[in-house]
């Protein structure tokens, strides 16, 4: 009996070793990351027709632009929602302009400028419900690359969940679906003038008779003295990972993942670099006033950085901008500044408003934190109207009493 018990215990010990070894060999773990898949368009597909359709639901909103009594909201890579905002308490969608590949917009004298893959379109929106294409500048923007027959026009995000063996090397954050040396262009922007007003993520902006655009490396100047026929007159290489453009007086403030560049437009057809400020690798929309630039840095898959903060820069001397102070944030995206009123979109963490009268004490002057909406960018008008766009939709607030925002209306994304 003792002998049998010994053999039984020995078998149990041997089985434990075998199963433990199998467990090690079959150990698995879950990896989650963002894959950027390349999207190619053929030569024939680069110049699609546009059309005006009935209003659509917001599904994947991008850039926002205010012009006269209209709100224009980009539906990423699809076109532009046109909303009649004559009565902010009751915004009314009136049309959708179908523009394949569209991300950026700006308006002057009733002409909507919009990218369509690599083309620049000029669209008459005097009556947005009857929008008409009046000119097309073909292939003025640079593709990420091309093969013999197709153009790489952008990358599409895909959330990936994979089951892999424990300890196996892999992509835990980002995977590029294309192996050539191309860089992702971030969908970022600045604020416009002399026509309408854009958000801090705009990459199109208008100053007097010029439309300025940035892509991932170049600043382009278009003469729009005749609004219906934009004329490309200059291209300047700024660097890499360029994201946003914001005009103020005789300067363009250009945000990149590596820093802020200042370009003088004293000669509007030929912008010239006058200063720059470098920072840690991160996404960085910029807004400015007379003496200060406000720059948000954030981490994230496309930003390739780890900083989440607001930097305040002294730009009294645009040739030598200097850091005044940095403030920790949660995940800041776009921002808007009007007088002492500063609003910062914190992504999934909501919207924060501050009194910026003293740029060295912004952290002591948080006025409100709205936590129940995801926010991406904002525009504040002189009449006390604050417009906010984000993953949850479009929201409007009365900020005439900055300490207590009052929601006026909202247009939610469709579920």
| Edge-to-edge strand list for the sheet holding 385-390 | 377-380, 385-390, 393-398, 406-412
Spans of all domains in the chain: 34-412
Residues of the chain with pLDDT under 70: 1-26, 166-194, 280-283, 300-305
Judge whether 369 and 329 are in contact, CB under 8 Å: no
Q: What pLDDT score does 239 carry?
A: 85
CB atoms within 10 A of CB 147: 9
In words, the CATH class of domain 34-412 is mainly beta
What are the tens digits of pLDDT across the range 10-50?
444 444 444 444 444 568 777 777 788 888 998 888 999 99
Q: Are strands 341-345 and 61-67 parallel, antiparallel or unpaired?
A: unpaired
Q: What pLDDT score does 37 carry?
A: 87
Q: Beta partners for 163?
A: 30
Distance CA 385, CA 397 (A): 6
- In this prediction the pTM is 0.84
Chain centroid, CA 384 distance in Å: 24
Number of residues that this document lists for the chain: 415
Burial of 100 by CB count in 10 Å (0-12 exposed, 13-18 middle, 19+ buried)?
middle
Q: What pLDDT score does 216 carry?
A: 85
What are the tens digits of pLDDT across the range 213-243?
999 899 999 999 999 999 999 999 998 888 8
What radius of gyration do the chain's Cα atoms show?
25
Distance CA 279, CA 301 (A): 18
Q: What pLDDT score does 10 carry?
A: 46
Distance CA 372, CA 343 (A): 16
The CA-atom distances, in angstroms, between 254 and each of 218, 288, 317 are: 11, 11, 16
What are the tens digits of pLDDT across the range 368-398?
999 999 999 999 999 999 999 999 999 999 9
């Amino acid at each position: 009996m003792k002998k049998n018990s010994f053999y039984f215990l020995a078998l149990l010990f041997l089985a434990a070793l075998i199963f433990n070894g199998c467990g090690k060999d079959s150990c698995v773990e879950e990896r989650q990351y963002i894959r950027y898949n390349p999207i190619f368009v053929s030569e024939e597909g680069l110049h699609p027709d546009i059309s005006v359709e009935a209003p659509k639901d917001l599904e994947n909103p991008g850039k926002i632009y205010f012009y006269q009594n209209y709100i224009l909201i980009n539906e990423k890579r699809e076109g532009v929602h046109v909303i009649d905002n004559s009565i902010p308490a009751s915004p009314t969608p009136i049309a959708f302009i179908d523009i394949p590949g569209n991300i950026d917009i700006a308006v002057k004298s009733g002409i909507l400028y919009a990218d369509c893959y690599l083309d620049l379109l000029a669209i008459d929106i005097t009556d947005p419900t009857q929008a008409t294409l009046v000119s097309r500048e073909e292939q003025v923007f640079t593709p990420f690359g091309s093969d013999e027959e197709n153009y790489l026009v952008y990358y599409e995000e895909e959330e990936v969940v994979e089951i892999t063996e424990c300890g196996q090397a892999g992509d835990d954050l980002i995977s590029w679906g294309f192996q050539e040396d191309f860089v992702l262009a971030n969908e970022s922007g600045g604020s416009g003038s002399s026509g309408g007003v854009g958000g801090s993520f705009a990459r199109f902006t208008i100053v007097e008779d010029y439309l300025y655009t940035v892509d991932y490396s170049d600043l382009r100047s278009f003469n729009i003295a005749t609004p219906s026929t934009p004329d490309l007159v200059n291209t300047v290489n700024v660097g890499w990972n360029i994201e946003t453009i914001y005009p103020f007086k005789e300067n363009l403030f250009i945000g990149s993942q590596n820093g802020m560049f200042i370009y003088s437009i004293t000669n509007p057809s030929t912008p010239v670099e006058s200063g720059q400020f470098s920072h840690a690798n991160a996404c960085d929309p910029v807004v400015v006033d007379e003496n200060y630039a406000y720059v948000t840095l954030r981490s994230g898959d496309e930003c390739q950085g780890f900083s989440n903060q607001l930097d305040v820069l002294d730009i009294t001397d645009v040739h030598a901008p200097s850091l005044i102070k940095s403030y920790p944030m949660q995940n800041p995206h776009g921002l808007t500044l009007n007088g002492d009123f500063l609003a910062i979109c914190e992504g999934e963490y909501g919207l924060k408003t501050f009194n910026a009268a003293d740029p060295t004490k912004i952290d002591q002057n948080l006025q409100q934190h709205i936590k129940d909406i995801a926010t991406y960018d904002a525009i504040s008008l002189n009449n006390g109207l604050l417009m906010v766009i984000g993953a949850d939709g479009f929201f409007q607030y009365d900020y005439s009493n900055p300490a207590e925002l009052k929601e006026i209306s909202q247009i939610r994304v469709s579920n």
